[in-house]
Amino acid sequence: MGKLKDKVAVITGATSGMALATAKLFVEEGAYVFITGRRQKLLDDAVKAIGRNVTGVQGDAANLLDLDRLYQTVKAEKGRIDVLFASAGTGALAPIGQITEEQFDTSFGLNVRGTLFTVQKALPLFTDGGSIIMNGSIATVKGFPAFSVYSASKAAIRSFARTWTVDLKARNIRVNVLSPGTIDTPILEGLPRESVDAFVALIPRGTMGRPEEIATAALFLASSDSSFVTGIELFVDGGVAQI
């Protein structure tokens, strides 16, 4: 029997990489999954790759009307949510002195504002005893150059987990942060090769993580295996944040 048998999960920003791998694993473990993405073609491709027990809803997690449409679809099709992985995020990298207003607004608009309302708007459909997972980053505890805005936006996610754990304790809804390190996903294509190599050099095992390694960690936080785990930040980074 799958660890998520008959559960209903919502995963935002799941058209590629870690979130797509997580959606695939959740379905393999028995869940029905709703995924979102901004680009319809990529969303259609992701739905096809998952293959079954999935609904794709086009939308931007930073757009509150899109979030309303997502949850209207979930309510109409399944009527509840057992697991939410608020994964959608972005990063605008620039050193202090070169940060633009647009970069700040984009990062905080999706990573902070978007995550907040992704969670808040899900609550009326949420099953008591359910699991909320938010996508963090090791950048919250490391001092990477040019990462100040991105790091600060992800630090807000960590703060959300602490306060929402208390806010939602009467409903026994667990809230945790999953913080990846350097993972081999398409998002790295936008970084200079020397930057990627520098990040890999920090990893004790000497290789990047795989999306599937994030997915298995997300499964742990989503399932009853982590029934006594809430309010934490789980680093899945090969040890980078710990040394």
Residue positions annotated with a catalytic role: 150
DSSP 110: I
Residue type, 41: K
Instruction: Decide the pairing of beta strands 8-11 and 32-37.
Output: parallel
Classified as helix, coil or strand, 63 is coil
Q: Hey, how many other C-beta atoms are within 10 angstroms of the C-beta on 170?
A: 8
Least Cα distance to 137 among 91, 90, 179 occurs for 179
Q: In which region does residue 238 sit, left (phi positive, over 0), alpha (psi from -120 to 50) or beta (all else)?
A: left
Could you tell me what percentage of the chain is helix, strand and coil, using 3-state DSSP and rounding each to the nearest 5?
50, 20, 35
Rounded CA separation 70/51 (Å) = 20
Rounded CA separation 157/114 (Å) = 11
Classified as helix, coil or strand, 128 is strand
Roughly what angle, to the nearest 10 degrees, separates helices 101-108 and 148-167?
30
